[in-house]
């Protein structure tokens, strides 16, 4: 009989939903948790600026190998746009360049302008960003007083609504595609209003299915660790990859899969009718995630193995 065994046993393995607090960089959170958990393989998916708060997915152990499958997730933010002030960084950390009296902008005008920013948009990456041009991050050039030519990027604002208007501050709910700069969105809205604006505060409420309601601060993570209850707060690789179609393989095929060998779709049931090429989860008959594969051609061809997570032994 064939049985499955995990390739390597980590004390912790999966994704932890961290609640990043203001003042911490994303790297700070990773470094702290690496020390706290005693794990060498710790990373994150989706950087947050130091002043921003909210959901930061922390990848531990084998989960560091699936970051590429998480980065396409949409994100939800609660942002505060301060109108009437334009800064060099497009957020509150920068120097105010222009001040304009925002009193002539009423709430009706704000709602009308905000509505124009829903759907597909073109954004120019801000100079104070980690985007690399010529191998150098833009923020380094910005700090040196240089402005680099940049190319606009396509992003999608899936949902955008005004939650509250208090004086110069407009609280927005933003659901957007990967690669969206919320501070650029705020600056663009301010410009469209004719008074300028910048991102005053930002909280990330959700990354894909990972919600702030399930997020833990560093102190809460430490408390769970001390009480030996932290393991239950991790999401497994299979849970995180649930958006990929699952293909169940038999014992013989499982042996091929875990050694990185391609398998034929024949005999493993009908594959989902999705665009090709498509990534699939390969699981054994006991339901254990073995690998991720790519199926290139509908109705024929092989499933090529891309990442193996488990070994199968006799």
**3 state DSSP class of 224:** helix
Q: Two tokens at 129?
A: 């960003």
Bridge partners (DSSP) listed for residue 81:
170, 199
Active site (annotated) includes residue 228: no
How many Å apart are CA 175 and CA 205, to the nearest integer?
Answer: 10
Helix 182-193 to helix 107-115 angle (10° resolution) is 130
Contacts of 108 (CB under 8 A, 6+ apart): none
Contacts of 112 (CB under 8 A, 6+ apart): none
**3 state DSSP class of 13:** coil
Residues found in the chain: 314
Residue 139 φ then ψ, to 5°: -65, -25
> Are the C-beta atoms of 16 and 216 separated by less than 8 Å?
yes
Q: Two tokens at 65?
A: 């190998």
Question: Among residues 13, 49, 91, 188, which one is catalytic?
Answer: 49
Burial letters 249-274, b for 16+ CB under 10 A, else e: beeebbbbbbeeeebebeeeeebeee
> Are the C-beta atoms of 54 and 67 separated by less than 8 Å?
no
Q: Two tokens at 92?
A: 């509150």
Catalytic residues: 49
């Amino acid at each position: 009989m064939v049985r499955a065994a995990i390739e390597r046993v980590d004390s912790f393995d999966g994704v932890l939903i961290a609640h990043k607090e203001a003042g911490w960089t994303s790297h700070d959170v990773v470094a702290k948790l690496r020390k706290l958990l005693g794990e060498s393989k710790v990373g994150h998916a989706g950087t947050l600026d130091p002043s921003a708060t909210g959901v930061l997915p922390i990848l531990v152990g084998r989960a560091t190998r699936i970051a590429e499958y998480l980065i396409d997730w949409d994100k939800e933010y609660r942002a505060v746009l301060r109108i009437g002030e334009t800064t060099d960084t497009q957020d509150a950390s920068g120097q105010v360049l222009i001040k304009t009296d925002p009193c002539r902008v009423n709430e009706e005008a704000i709602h009308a302008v905000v509505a124009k920013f829903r759907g597909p948009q073109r954004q120019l990456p801000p100079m104070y960003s980690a985007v690399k041009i010529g191998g150098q991050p833009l923020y380094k050039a910005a700090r040196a007083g240089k402005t680099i030519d940049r190319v606009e990027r396509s992003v999608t604002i899936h949902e955008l609504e005004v939650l509250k208007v208090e004086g110069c501050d407009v609280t927005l709910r933003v659901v957007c595609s990967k690669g969206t700069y919320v501070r650029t969105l705020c600056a663009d809205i301010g410009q469209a209003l004719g008074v300028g604006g910048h991102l005053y505060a930002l909280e990330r409420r959700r990354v894909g299915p990972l919600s702030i309601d399930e997020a833990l601060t560093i102190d809460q993570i430490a408390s769970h660790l001390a009480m030996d209850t932290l393991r239950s707060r991790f999401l497994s690789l299979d849970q995180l990859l649930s958006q990929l179609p699952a293909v169940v393989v038999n014992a013989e095929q499982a042996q091929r899969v875990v050694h990185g060998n391609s398998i034929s779709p024949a005999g493993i049931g009908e594959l989902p009718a999705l665009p090709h090429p498509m990534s699939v989860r390969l699981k054994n008959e006991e339901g254990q995630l073995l690998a991720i594969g790519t199926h290139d051609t509908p109705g024929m061809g092989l499933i090529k193995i891309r990442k193996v997570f488990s070994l199968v032994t006799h």
